[in-house]
Amino acid sequence: MIVEVITAGRKDMARRTIFIPDAVEARARAAAEPGESFSATVTRLIELGAAAAGGPAPPSYIASGEGPEDLGRWAERYLADLGAES
C-alpha cells in the first residue's frame, strides 16, 4: 500500500492506493448513493462490512494494573455513597 499525505486547503488527508478487482469496483459503484464519491462509498461499505462481520468494536483502552476484577464496580459504589452522604 502506498501512503501519501496531501495538503488540500485546510486539512491534511492520507491517500491510500489499493488494487481491487474490476468486479468489486463495479459492485462498489453500483452501491454508491447519489452524489457520493467513490472513496466515500468504499469507506461506507468497509465500515458496514466490518460492523456486520466483527460485531462491536473493541474498547480503545487496555486495562492495566492489578486487583480484583470488580474493582471498577467497587469504585462506583464508593463514589455513589460519598455523593449520597453530602
Residue 69 or 3, more confident? 69
User: What's the pTM value of the predicted model, to 2 decimals?
Assistant: 0.48
Chain-centroid distance of CA 78 in Å reads 33
Task: Give the pLDDT confidence score for residue 27 in this predicted structure.
Answer: 95
- Residue 27 CA to residue 67 CA, distance in Å, equals 51
Render pLDDT for 21-78 as a digit per residue (tens, 0 to 9). Answer: 999 999 999 999 999 999 999 989 988 988 888 766 666 666 666 666 777 777 788 8
